[in-house]
Amino acid sequence: MTHTLYSPFDMHIHFRQNEMLRAIAPLSGYSFSGGVIMPNCIPPIDSAELLADYTEQVNNALGALDFTPFMTLFFRNYSEKELAEIKDSIIGIKLYPAGATTNSDQGVKEISKAEHTLAMMEEMGIRLLVHGETHGFVMDREKEFLSIYDYLAKKFPRLHIVMEHITTKDAVEFLDKYDNVTATVTLQHLLITLDDVIGGLMNPHLFCKPIAKRYEDRDSLLDAALNAHPKLCFGSDSAPHPIDKKESCGCAAGVFTAPIALQVLTQLFEKHNSLPNLQKFVSDNAVNIYNLTPSPKKVELCKKPFLVPEKYHTVVPMYAGQTLEWSIESVQ
């Protein structure tokens, strides 16, 4: 049995920097046509100069692979001149609440103080990508942030707002509330709940932010993905950390899924008799929402066992050492 995907996109991915970037980027570049590259580096990518330098590093790491990196800027209060200079070089600007996740300490502390920049983004047609969590009780952070999405969607009705890596039933329902709101969802949040992370011995390689939630949340996300909700895209949020940063006190947040995402998604969609919708979820929806022009990449998957390596470079992937039902046969 085989299945073909055309021009799959990963609309939320972390490539990191330096040695990690050079080791990790080609794993996405091999099987995906493009991806949205996150800017929470050290220092954050928040200027035209840093953007140009990071873009060059990413392209060098990808080499000859047919992969388009869609770059983002780290949100801060930009001037109109700065935004005009960079708007054609990015797919959007990523807003992190200060301290919400990895390398986000320089993020936004008060939404009200960001409104001048948001208004200019709306006028210029620059997308707003958001890590939507408050600093409340960890299970409620995303739900609490929905009131901020509600406020922003009303105040800036022409601003395209992307709810990144949604994890709750409430967020899925919110998708249909405003025309200017779309979302991404990760692989792990379609599969796991908090019980998988800490229900027994803690599995540090499944710990991410936002954390996995309840069964009803997982099931709602999965239903939306399997039915290819037109406002929902696949965004892995694949976030590599070295083993010593994951298997340690203060476990780093992030699940590494880039090299196994398409195999697992194919397995998941086949299990639920939804393989015809996988193309929409991993490609067509992104093309429509972000107005992309995909390169003609064809990924052939076949139903034969694939043993997931124990690690890639210094990073342990999801399903490490386990055998998947589907493999990537070829990429053309």
Torsion 217-265-257-306 (CA) sign: positive
Question: Residue 237 catalytic?
Answer: yes
Instruction: Judge contact between 318 and 260, C-beta under 8 A.
Output: yes
The token duo for 284 is 């067509």
Q: Which two tokens stand for residue 146?
A: 């929905």
Rounded CA-CA distance 147/145 in Å is: 5
Calpha distance 311→22 (Å, rounded): 16
Alpha carbons 293 and 298: distance in angstroms, whole number: 15
The one-letter amino acid code at 198 reads I
Q: Which amino acid is at 195?
A: D
To 10 degrees, what angle do helices 18-31 and 48-62 make?
A: 60
Active-site entry in 88, 237, 244, 284: 237
- Residue 116: both structure tokens together: 């001048």
CB 117 within 8 A of CB 75: yes
Look up residue 232 and give its two tokens.
């929902």
Q: Which residues are catalytic?
A: 237
